Amino acid sequence: PPRAHFDSITQRLVLNMDHFCPWVVNCVGFYNRKFFILFLFYTVVSCLYFLIAIVCRGPLSLQHLLVGKAGTTALKFMAVVFDSSLALAVSGFTCFHVKLVYYNQTTIESDCEEYDVGWRRNFESVFGANPWLWLLPVVGGGPVGDGVHWPLNDGTVEGGEDLIPMAGSDSDEEYGDEPDMDAQMEA
């Protein structure tokens, strides 16, 4: 299928493969890309929460960090340095992957623009149709589509031997009902 790649580490063909991630010890692809991006996002949020807590609150404040006991001060200082570095690095990863979702690309095909069908539909193809569930680590209805047929920005759908018109394009033909995601995931 288009946008599928064989992963040599897991020995599997992965739909809409983004990359193999050693952090989650799995391929990031069609069905788990949302959860990978949320993992990055919540890692940044927790790092920033820690930094705010250590700089602004009571015995963990910046004043106590600079004037506290020698052993505690060094430990707190190292924690701030490590957490700041992690927050900065993971923020870069998060921004990069959100940009890829915005343009409907993966790290493998980061220069391909033919799948960009508008930011809203691009986000729906990763996070699902319900925007209220985009920041929650739940499947909801799953990503929009089946991972095999991909709408192109010229109004057609790629996948299989023929290009068929997309629903809502200039043609009156519909390409059928959406596949049942629950049935596909059980198979």
Mean pLDDT of 9-18: 92
User: Cα torsion at 128, 134, 139, 145 (round to 10°)?
Assistant: 10
56 is catalytic: no
What tens digit of pLDDT does each residue of 84-124 get? 999 999 999 999 999 999 999 999 988 889 999 999 999 99
47, pLDDT greater than 90: yes
Q: What is the DSSP string of the chain?
A: -TT-EEETTTTEEETT--EEETTTTEEE-TTTHHHHHHHHHHHHHHHHHHHHHHHHSGGGSHHHHHHS-HHHHHHHHHHHHHHHHHHHHHHHHHHHHHHHHHTT--STTTT--TT---HHHHHHHHH-S-GGGTTSS--TT-SSS-SS-EE-TTSEEESSSS-EEPTTSSSS----PPP-HHHHHH-
Question: Do 12 and 48 meet the contact criterion of CB atoms below 8 Å apart?
Answer: no
Among candidates 33, 37, 43, 41, which has minimal Cα distance to 142? 33
- C-beta separation of 18 from 106 below 8 A: yes
d(CA 109, CA 19): 10
| pLDDT tens-place string over residues 65-86 | 566 666 666 777 788 889 999 9
Report, as an integer, the average pLDDT of 28-55. 93
Is-above-0.85 flag for pTM?
no
* Other Cβ atoms within 10 Å of 90 Cβ, number: 20
Q: Which two tokens stand for residue 120?
A: 């809203």
| Nearby residues of 125 by Cβ (< 8 Å), 6 or more positions away | 104, 143, 144, 145
Of 21, 56, 95, 112, catalytic: 21
Q: How does pLDDT run across 149-164, given as a tens digit for each residue?
A: 999 988 888 875 544 4
